[in-house]
Amino acid sequence: MSASASDPEPFPMTHQAVELMRALPLFADFTDQELSEIAVLCDVAIAHPGQVVQAQDVPVRRWHLITAGHVVVQRDGVPLGLLARGDSWGEHSLLNQVRSPVTVVALSPVTLVTVRDKEFFSIPEAHPVLAGRLVARSAVSADRLALPVFNALTHAGNRIR
């Protein structure tokens, strides 16, 4: 899949974005006050079909949470999975300070809540419940699982030949 390498343009969080966050399981039991405090750390970004949201082998600068739309996760051009509303990526790469092992490309118009790396690392002190959830997500994040899945697919492909 060919795609242009341009990050979605973020814009400041709005009341509407707080409502989008509230509808996601990650934030389901947060109070209005907590959501407002978290929203200050966030931007909203819109990606268009075919747009590269995260490029492979570059430093990860943001955590991304999909509030609408679909993206495909790729490694070396090989599709590894599909992410949709409520899914996120970048937490593993941010926590471990590694380059992105994946390319993420919008398949449809995508709305994202994003958090820059600096703000991401301020979450544990102010919002320990969210921090715990992000650490748990890190274990199953697309950027954590991409390399093992890619290696398994490559290995399986070699065995079939």
pLDDT score at 141: 73
> How big is the chain by its Cα radius of gyration, in Å?
16
Distance from C-alpha of 157 to C-alpha of 141, rounded to nearest angstrom: 24
pLDDT of 2 over the 50 cut:
no
Is 20 within the bounds of a domain?
Answer: yes
Q: Is residue 80 part of a domain?
A: yes
Q: What is the CATH number of the domain that holds 87?
A: 2.60.120.10
Q: Do the domain assignments include residue 1?
A: no
Answer yes or no: are the C-beta atoms of 1 and 15 closer than 8 Å: no
Answer yes or no: is 108 within a domain.
yes
Domain that holds residue 46: 9-117+126-154
In whole angstroms, what separates CA 29 from the centre of its chain? 21
Q: Is the pLDDT of residue 155 over 70?
A: no
Checking if the pLDDT of 5 tops 60, the result is no
Distances (CA, A) of 153 to 53, 75, 89, 143, 161: 23, 11, 21, 16, 13
Instruction: Examine residue 4 and state whether it is found in any structural domain, yes or no.
Output: no
- The count of domains in the chain is 1
pLDDT at 51: 98
- Minimum mean pLDDT range among 12-21, 28-37, 121-130: 12-21
Domain for residue 29, yes or no?
A: yes
